[in-house]
Amino acid sequence: MKQMLFWIVKFSLLSLLLGLLACAARQPDYLKAETIPAVKVPQGLDNSRLGQIYRLPQQEIIEPTVFKTPFPPAIATQASEKQASLQQLNNKLWVLNDRSVATTWVQVIDFWLQRGVSLATTDVANAALQTQWFKESLQPGFSIRYRLRLEQGFQDNTTEIYFSNQKRDDSNLTSEWITFQGNVGDDRVHAQLMAASLVTQLINGPSEVGDSFVAESIRLPQKSSSSIVNNDPVLVLNVATARAYKALSKALAGEGFLTYDSDLAKGLFHFDQYEAGNKKRRFFGILSPKQSSQKNYVPDRTSRYRVKEIVARLPNKPSINELFFGDKELVRENQSRLSSVPGFLLVVKPQKGSQVLYLRDGYGKMLEGEAAKNILDDIRLRLF
């Protein structure tokens, strides 16, 4: 009897354990939950032992494809957790918003409505809008209108808002837009004031902002992407050269990096990296730690070599000549090797409107293992 009781208890615990494991193995996405059919009692038999069963009335079945997949966590975002900033480069002016394009679209439209400015056009497909003419008290007798265009930022869920305006004398109502090239337009000061006002509203706006389901369809080109060229990890920046240099200069001046020198005329940065991090998922999709030899690595604060001198003393090899001098067949005079060149060389090569970034050590050699992927990933995460 005792032995039988022992086996009953053992099988009960085993069944409970298997049930828990089955629950743990389920997908967290409720849309993928398994549907179990209700128990059907054969005709003529009693169903009282099944307990209470809630019966649903028969209704028309609606195809599930009619609805979009709901995403509750993304519907509302705390404004206090997000930031916005004003950016300028040459004759371009834009606002960097740390939110998705769909949310930013709602915020931008609300910005103009709050100011009492009507919108003339909204082009969701191209993430662009244009205001009606409106008057500003700063310049009596003149009216102004704006065009805004949204672009994907370097980081996921960041958006860049580009400003352009046109001013006209109210006595001349025939003004037409010039070709929009992303320039500020007729009145840079007014555009700066308007952009600063937008930044203030983005930071201090409502605590919860809903996404636009219409704007969810916007698909903007990425500004950064990873690739492999002849087994060489590279980072591609889909921006103009001047914008790439500005973003890279800021990234390499941030925490975790130390810039020794640069030669922007030749697209070269000489820098080092410190403060090796813990394990984290990289941009290239690889979960890997830093090399153990870097954990307590402290770089030299300065380098005794200028980047031009380092490049001039690189080994005379076809692969180095091609990357640094643009000529694989180039034959250079051999020079003595420099001693103890610190850090890395970042080479920026323009290619069809984009910038391709290659990483080398201080002697022009490719890095071993995943080192290049990890460092390029860290650079990418600091771009804005």
pLDDT in tens, 286-331: 333 344 334 566 677 788 999 999 999 999 999 999 999 999 889 8
* Pair (356, 247) in one structural domain: yes
Structure tokens at 220: 């903007």
Structure tokens at 210: 């809903």
Average of pLDDT values for 200-222? 79
* Pair (362, 248) in one structural domain: yes
More confident residue, 293 or 270: 270
pLDDT classification of 27: cutoffs 50, 70, 90: very low
Domain that holds residue 101: 75-217
Per DSSP, the three-state class of 12 is: helix
Cα radius of gyration rounded to whole Å, the chain: 30
Task: Out of 217, 252, 280, pick the residue that ends a domain.
Answer: 217
Nearest to 289 by CA among 205, 370, 352, 223: 370
* Pair (209, 351) in one structural domain: no
Task: Out of 182, 202, 217, pick the residue that ends a domain.
Answer: 217
Per DSSP, the three-state class of 242 is: helix
Place of tokens 């007014």: 190
Q: pLDDT of 6-15, one tens digit each?
A: 555 555 655 5
Give residue 117's pLDDT: 95
Nearest to 269 by CA among 184, 323, 347: 347
Average of pLDDT values for 246-266? 95
Give residue 142's pLDDT: 85
Per DSSP, the three-state class of 184 is: coil
Per DSSP, the three-state class of 29 is: coil
* Pair (230, 373) in one structural domain: yes
* Pair (325, 348) in one structural domain: yes
Q: Do 306 and 300 touch, CB atoms closer than 8 A?
A: no
* Pair (261, 240) in one structural domain: yes
* Pair (94, 172) in one structural domain: yes
Our CA dihedral for 7, 13, 19, 20, rounded to 10 degrees, sits at -160
Q: Do 38 and 54 touch, CB atoms closer than 8 A?
A: no
Q: Do 374 and 288 touch, CB atoms closer than 8 A?
A: yes
In sequence order, the β-bridge partners of residue 350 are 355
Place of tokens 């919108």: 119
* Pair (138, 275) in one structural domain: no
Q: What are phi and psi of 137, to 5 degrees?
A: -65, -15
* Pair (236, 210) in one structural domain: no
